[in-house]
Amino acid sequence: MRASYKQKCIVCRKNHALVTWKNRVPVCVECKMREINKPIKDKKFKKMFDIDNALYEKSGFLRNIKSSYLRFGELSEKQIEMFKKVVEEVKKKKDKTSDNEI
């Protein structure tokens, strides 16, 4: 099922977060941003993740990649490739306001 709906954030229990088929745990953007806002030591990844915060706010995909890097300390070549690609896509969509996250 691909339907998405909003549920109360499990972290702050205040805001609502979008629950989708690929993202079943509702964590609002605010909490997720706080979670991924951690210093990165590795030079290569530090540079890669050093993008405008607004891009992370726009894209659940970018938040998830950074979140998994913080959790596992590494990313696959494929994830790195996708991250860079999506950053460009989100930049292009910057002025569009919508709920459609990439």
Contact set with Zn ion (CB under 5 A): 9, 11-12, 15, 28, 31
Query: Residue 54 in contact with residue 90, Cβ under 8 Å?
Result: no
CA-wise closest residue to 11 among 24, 60, 28: 28
Residue 28 vs 55, nearer CB to Zn ion: 28
Residue 4 vs 7, nearer CB to Zn ion: 7
Residue 11 vs 82, nearer CB to Zn ion: 11
* Beta-carbon count within 10 A of 27 CB: 23
**Residue 99 C-beta: closest distance to Zn ion, Å:** 17
